[in-house]
């Protein structure tokens, strides 16, 4: 049974992820469990996951920032009012015909109200900055799409891990059930003198060794389910039951497969392209700082002065201002140089990213092709192993085969079944990762 234990540990290592820190004691069992298909799991994750919520909020926040940037195109209107009380009037001294006269200047009360409006008429830098803010929204939308695609991959892989854990549990449970039956048969044969004490003890040990594997497989299902719930963004105490079987995906796996290498929808590349256009816009905006700006303004004042009686006097003016940049110590020049270097760096980064993506896609395609071959080989092996076990079981019942031979047939059958399930799991996990790379949203 050492091979059996070793094989089971490999499966457990794959499906059990480091989520013990999130594990809570006592899963709710008082209510009817939520029956969960893959489509339902994806729907819940895309509505409940904090990652998706944050991404959507980022798009909303960037949209507000874009709308706020358009405020620069509208007139800026302001109003103010001032009241001044003179505590001690200023004194002017004048020489009038050889006599000195002191005259107090000012009024006790001074009130001034002002309304002003201004707006840019020609500002090329401002117009380009508005385009840049639009690209910020576009980038946020693409980042949100990237979060959604990544979430879909994580949920799929976690869902497949639960199915693999359930399949492993079913296989190990079947082994334990067969071990029990074999022990009962051996004990019956021992009681009538057709089996030795050693053979009976060996059957008992085989049964007892299989029992801990059932508990471990059951725990693996629990941990994989916890991981799925964590990825979906639901409470770990929520009682769910995953609906489906890995065999449900064999048809999709065995359908004539066409390698996919189209990366035009890859989110990382699309984000880099948007960032490249943003740098181009930044360079244009910096260059347009050399262009003069023209602005218009209008002011209306209403003021009053007096000691006891106030006299109001209106005034207004309109102005057009032209600002012409002359010299700034080459600051704009070096800012443009800086942005161009950043753009060149981004282009090199995109080139490396595209190269690595093509390597990853080729690797996933090779993995999936290998999984198909492994499944086909395992599928044939399962039929042979099952037939071998059935024959060994009948031969053991009539005393023409030993318990060791029966156990070997059982181990071979279990290994073939787990290899078959593992091939389907590996294929679907690789396909989910591939879908993320090529930018599929479903």
* Residue carrying structure tokens 């262009």: 291
Measured CA to CA, the distance from residue 88 to residue 105 in angstroms comes to 10
Say if residues 62 and 140 touch (Cβ distance below 8 Å): yes
pLDDT > 90 in the chain, percent: 42
- Is residue 334 situated within a structural domain? yes
- Is residue 85 situated within a structural domain? no
Kindly give, in sequence order, each residue whose CB lies less than 8 Å from that of residue 191, ignoring residues fewer than 6 positions away. none
**pLDDT at residue 363 in the model:** 93
Least confident segment among 83-87, 96-100, 141-145, 335-339 = 96-100
Q: Is the pLDDT of residue 11 over 70?
A: no
Query: 30-67: per-residue pLDDT in tens?
Result: 468 888 899 999 999 988 888 888 988 999 999 888 88
Kindly give, in sequence order, each residue whose CB lies less than 8 Å from that of residue 75, ignoring residues fewer than 6 positions away. 117, 118, 119
- Token digits of residue 222: 């629990």
Q: Give the chain's mean pLDDT.
A: 86
* Residue carrying structure tokens 């024959």: 391
Instruction: Kindly state the greatest CA–CA separation across the chain.
Output: 154
- Is residue 82 situated within a structural domain? no
Measured CA to CA, the distance from residue 55 to residue 152 in angstroms comes to 14
Host domain of residue 155: 2-76+122-291+328-438
**pLDDT at residue 189 in the model:** 81
| More reliable by pLDDT, 22 or 168 | 168
Alpha helix (H) ranges present in 192-266?
Answer: 197-232, 250-254
**pLDDT at residue 31 in the model:** 60
Q: Structurally, how many domains does the chain consist of?
A: 1
Measured CA to CA, the distance from residue 248 to residue 378 in angstroms comes to 16
pTM for the model: 0.78
DSSP 26: S
Kindly give, in sequence order, each residue whose CB lies less than 8 Å from that of residue 242, ignoring residues fewer than 6 positions away. 36, 41, 159, 162, 163, 166, 225, 228
- Is residue 112 situated within a structural domain? no
Query: 180-234: per-residue pLDDT in tens?
Result: 888 888 888 888 888 888 888 888 888 898 889 899 999 999 999 999 999 998 8
Question: What CATH number did the domain enclosing 191 receive?
Answer: 1.20.1600.10
**H or E element: which one contains 53?**
helix 50-69
pLDDT > 70 in the chain, percent: 92
- Is residue 366 situated within a structural domain? yes
Say if residues 133 and 63 touch (Cβ distance below 8 Å): no
Query: 282-318: per-residue pLDDT in tens?
Result: 999 999 999 999 999 999 999 988 887 888 889 999 9
Bridge partners of 110, per DSSP, are 84, 305
Say if residues 115 and 101 touch (Cβ distance below 8 Å): no
Q: How far is CA 2 from CA 53, 110, 211, 366, 434, in A?
A: 48, 100, 14, 32, 36
Bridge partners of 183, per DSSP, are none
The helix/strand/coil state of 398 is coil
- Is residue 305 situated within a structural domain? no
Half-sphere exposure of 38 (CA within 13 A, CB side): 20
- Is residue 38 situated within a structural domain? yes
- Is residue 99 situated within a structural domain? no
């Amino acid at each position: 049974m050492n091979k059996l234990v070793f094989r089971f540990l490999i499966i457990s290592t794959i499906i059990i992820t480091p989520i013990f820190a999130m594990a809570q004691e006592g899963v709710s069992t008082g209510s009817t469990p939520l029956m969960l298909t893959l489509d339902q799991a994806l729907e819940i994750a895309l509505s409940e996951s904090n990652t998706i919520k944050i991404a959507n909020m980022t798009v909303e926040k960037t949209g507000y920032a874009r709308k706020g940037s358009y405020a620069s195109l509208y007139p800026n209107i302001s109003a103010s009012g001032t009241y001044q009380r003179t505590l001690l009037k200023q004194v002017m001294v004048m020489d009038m015909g050889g006599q000195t006269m002191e005259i107090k200047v000012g009024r006790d009360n001074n009130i001034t109200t002002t309304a002003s409006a201004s707006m840019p008429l020609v500002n090329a830098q401002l117009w380009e900055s508005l385009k840049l803010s639009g690209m910020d929204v576009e980038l946020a939308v693409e980042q949100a799409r990237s979060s959604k695609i990544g979430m879909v991959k994580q949920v799929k892989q976690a869902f497949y891990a639960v199915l693999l854990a359930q399949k492993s549990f079913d296989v190990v449970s079947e082994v334990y059930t067969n071990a029990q039956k074999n022990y009962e048969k051996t004990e019956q044969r021992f009681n009538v003198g057709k089996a030795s004490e050693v053979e009976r003890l060996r059957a008992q040990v085989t049964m007892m060794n299989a029992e801990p594997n059932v508990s471990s497989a059951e725990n693996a299902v629990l941990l994989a389910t916890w991981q799925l719930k964590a990825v979906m963004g639901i409470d770990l105490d929520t009682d769910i039951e995953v609906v489906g079987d890995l065999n449900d995906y064999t048809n999709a796996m065995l359908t004539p497969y066409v390698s996919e290498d189209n990366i035009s929808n890859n989110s990382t590349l699309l984000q880099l392209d948007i960032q490249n256009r943003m740098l181009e816009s930044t360079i244009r905006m910096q260059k347009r700082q050399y262009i003069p700006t023209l602005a218009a303004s209008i002011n209306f004042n209403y003021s009053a002065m007096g000691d006891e009686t106030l006299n109001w006097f209106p005034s207004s003016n309109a102005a057009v201002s032209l600002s012409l940049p002359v010299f700034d110590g080459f600051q704009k020049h070096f800012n443009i140089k800086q942005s161009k270097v950043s753009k060149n760096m981004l282009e090199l980064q995109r080139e490396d990213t595209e190269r690595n993506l093509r390597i990853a896609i080729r690797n996933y395609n090779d993995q999936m092709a290998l999984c198909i071959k492994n499944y086909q080989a395992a599928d044939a092996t399962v039929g042979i192993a099952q037939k071998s076990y059935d024959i060994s079981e009948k031969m053991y019942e009539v005393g023409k085969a030993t318990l060791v031979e029966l156990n070997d047939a059982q181990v071979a059958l279990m290994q073939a079944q787990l290899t078959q399930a593992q091939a389907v799991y590996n294929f679907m996990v690789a396909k989910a990762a591939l879908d993320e790379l090529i930018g599929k949203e479903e």
